[in-house]
């Protein structure tokens, strides 16, 4: 897999995050503030990835037409869905760290750190090696 393909995979997950967090915030008032912060953070990351891909003259992957709302039917499932999404983002960032060099590796490392901390914000457990299965 090329670093451009991995950037596209990361972007697809950021599109999903930008969709997921408003749904969680709207359904569960107790999670609204946490969801808003996550939405803001992921919107910024998504926009940065879009810019990078445009600079590479690559057509960015669009958001999916729909996502599975069923995974947020309860507050507990919503938190678990958020946590899993952050884990998935960490895994893609870790792949990019290994497949890239220089500035892109630094960017991916920041993304990995951000995702690992976001997973903790969604009641995750500390992991010595975020992004690994």
Let me know if residue 79 belongs to a domain.
yes
pLDDT value for 71: 86
Task: Give residue-wise pLDDT tens across range 61-96.
Answer: 999 999 988 889 999 999 999 999 999 999 999 999
Hey, which bits of the chain come out as E strands? none
| Alpha carbon of residue 95 to chain centroid | 14
| Alpha carbon of residue 26 to chain centroid | 19
Say what the pTM is: 0.95
Residue 1 banded pLDDT, cuts 50, 70, 90? confident
pLDDT value for 127: 86
Let me know if residue 116 belongs to a domain.
yes
Asked if residue 90 lies in contact with residue 130, where contact means CB atoms within 8 angstroms, the answer is yes
**CA-CA-CA-CA dihedral for 23, 28, 33, 39, to nearest 10:** -10
Write out the residue range of the structural domain in which residue 63 sits: 3-121
In terms of C-beta density within 10 A (0-12 exposed, 13-18 middle, 19 or more buried), how is residue 5 classed? middle
Q: Say how many domains are in the chain.
A: 1
Task: Give residue-wise pLDDT tens across range 12-48.
Answer: 999 999 999 999 999 999 999 999 999 999 999 999 9
pLDDT value for 70: 84
Let me know if residue 129 belongs to a domain.
no
């Amino acid at each position: 897999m090329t670093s451009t393909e991995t950037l596209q995979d990361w972007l697809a997950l950021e599109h999903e995050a930008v969709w997921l967090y408003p749904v969680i915030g709207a359904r569960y008032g107790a999670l609204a503030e946490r969801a808003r912060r996550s939405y803001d953070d992921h919107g910024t990351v998504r926009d940065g990835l879009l810019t990078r891909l445009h600079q590479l003259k690559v057509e960015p992957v669009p958001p999916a037409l729909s996502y599975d709302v069923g995974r947020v039917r309860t507050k507990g499932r919503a938190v678990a869905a958020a946590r899993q999404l952050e884990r998935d983002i960490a895994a893609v960032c870790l792949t990019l760290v290994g497949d890239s060099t220089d500035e892109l590796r630094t960017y991916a490392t920041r993304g990995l750190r951000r995702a690992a901390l976001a997973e903790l914000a969604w009641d995750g457990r500390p992991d010595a090696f975020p992004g690994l299965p």
